[in-house]
Amino acid sequence: MNNQTSDDKKQSQFFINNMVESAIRVGLLFILLAWSYGIVKPFLIPVLWGAIIAVALMPLTVKLENMLKGKRGLSATVIALIGILILTVPFVMFSISMVESVEGITSTISSGTLKIPGPTERIANIPIIGQQIFDVWQLFSTNLEKAFTKFLPQLTSGLAMMASVVGNSIVSILMFVISLLISAAFMANATSISKSVNTLSVRIAGAHGEEWATLCTATIRSVLLGVVGVACIQAFLVGIGVFAIGLPTAGLITILVLVFAIAQLPALLVVAPVIAYVYSIHDSTTATIFAVWTLLAGLSDNFLKPLLMGRGLDIPMPVILLGAIGGMVSSGILGLFIGPVILAIWYQLFNEWMHESAKADEQEEQEQ
């Protein structure tokens, strides 16, 4: 009896020792992971963006590689440099234009020669908001000093918001430049990285790991084509209209349409006020042609997305679109790509589960 009690105590002590050791190991592992995350956190977003850009631009890199006789490193570097130029040159030109405009307006206000043309009666006839716009515009055109005094808080907050937007834009541009450089490294070593990713995917997800890795790649390219590609087409079409009619803020309007379209917001939010303004300064025929063109451009995503999004995938387009919108809302622009990938994997898991369930039911029927 005493021997049995002694054995029980030994087993209990052994169990407690194992529990303590396991707890210590798990705790140390958790601390190691937390420290590691803290170290890599500043680089996480640029690396993720670099991976997304590399996946999206890899087909283009391969084509350029064939033209350069197999020099993948050179082709990846050229693609990255072109991307950096596409990002920075328009931003620098836009910034210079904005600075010059602000300086011109400031000097004109200081000299007292600023004259704002008064609104036409068409503005007042705009439903709901027409009379308010007319009154404010009329005040600025007749008594500029009183208008600035009355709306000084709103103007100050607006300028502060614009400064914040410019600052955030500079940070975003720098982040994308870094991400493009990282993507060049990924594309230059795409073969070895692809093998490592497939191995890791199989290790994590089993037999379907490699298939899901391919699915992630195809989903990212589909989102790039269906969201960013459609946004660029919309911005290009609207840009044709605003530049053709000679609006002074044509460049800004085009950029706003691009941003709104990428953010999955209706381009009509930008286009509608522009149409109202064009009706106030141009004749009815010109304004109507402009309105029809810009409305068609603003609504073009409704038929372009079904055509472009989800091409080459077995995932339904609504699943990809839902993931893009939901990811954008929850995680910003990065979620635009991560959201569809997550929903695509869940859709595949659900289909596999349904298939296995149906297969099991068939086997039961056959056995009976």
The predicted pLDDT at position 133 comes to 77
Q: Which residue has the tokens 């085009």?
A: 254
The answer for residues whose C-beta is within 8 angstroms of residue 330's C-beta and 6 or more apart is 339
* 223 and 121 both lie in a single domain: no
Q: Chain centroid to CA 60: how far? A: 20
Q: Which of 145, 125, 147, 143 lies closest to 134 in space, CA to CA? A: 125
Q: Is residue 332 part of a domain?
A: yes
Same domain, 194 and 224: no
* DSSP classification of residue 208: G
Residues 187 and 230 placed together within one structural domain of the fold: no
Shared domain check, 345 and 282: yes
Q: Of the segments 55-59, 62-66, 130-134, which one has the largest average pLDDT value?
A: 62-66
Look at residue 6 and give its three-state secondary structure.
helix
Neighbours of 297 (CB within 10 A): 23
Distances in whole angstroms, Cα of residue 256 to Cα of each of 82, 100, 262, 266: 23, 20, 10, 11
Closest to 290 in 3D by CA, of 361, 356, 242: 242
pLDDT at position 367 over 80: no
Three-state secondary-structure class, residue 26: helix
Residue 194: name the closest of 62, 318, 293, 55 by CA. 55
CA distance 31 to 142: 67
**If you count them, how many residues does the chain have?**
368
Where is the domain boundary, 171, 206, 241?
206
Q: How many independent structural domains does the chain possess?
A: 2
Q: What is the pLDDT of residue 368?
A: 63
Average pLDDT, integer, range 52-62 = 82
Q: What is the dihedral of CA 173, 179, 180, 182, to 10 degrees?
A: 150
Domain boundary among 206, 238, 263: 206
pLDDT band at 233 (very low <50, low <70, confident <90, very high): confident
Do 102 and 234 sit in the same domain of this protein? no
Q: What percent of the chain has pLDDT over 70?
A: 77
**Whether residue 157 sits in one domain with residue 69:** yes
Question: What per-residue confidence (pLDDT) applies to 53?
Answer: 81
- The count of other CB atoms within 10 Å of the CB of residue 263 is 15
Q: Tens digits of per-residue pLDDT, 235-289?
A: 888 888 888 888 777 777 888 888 788 777 788 888 888 888 888 778 888 888 8
Amino acid at 364: E
Our measurement of the distance from residue 68's CA atom to the centroid of its chain's CA atoms, rounded to an integer in Å, reads 32
Tell me phi and psi for residue 119, to 5 degrees: -75, 155
The verdict on 151 and 220 lying in the same domain is no
Block residue for tokens 């600075």: 99
Q: Are 158 and 254 within one domain?
A: no
pLDDT digit string (tens) for 37-48?
888 888 888 888
- Which pLDDT does position 1 carry in this prediction? 52
Domain annotation covers residue 26: no
pLDDT of the residue at 108? 65
Domain-ending residue, one of 142, 171, 206? 206
Token output for 332: 């910003």
Q: What is the residue range of 142's domain?
A: 45-206
- What are the backbone dihedrals phi and psi of residue 125, each rounded to the nearest 5 degrees, phi first? -85, -5
> Which has more confidence, 108 or 202?
202
**Neighbour tally for 224: CB within 10 Å:** 19
Contact 359, 245 (CB under 8 A): no
Mean pLDDT of 302-319: 72
Label residue 218 by pLDDT band (50, 70, 90): confident
Q: Are residues 75 and 141 in the same domain?
A: yes
Instruction: For residue 262, give the amino acid letter.
Output: I
pLDDT value for 246:
81
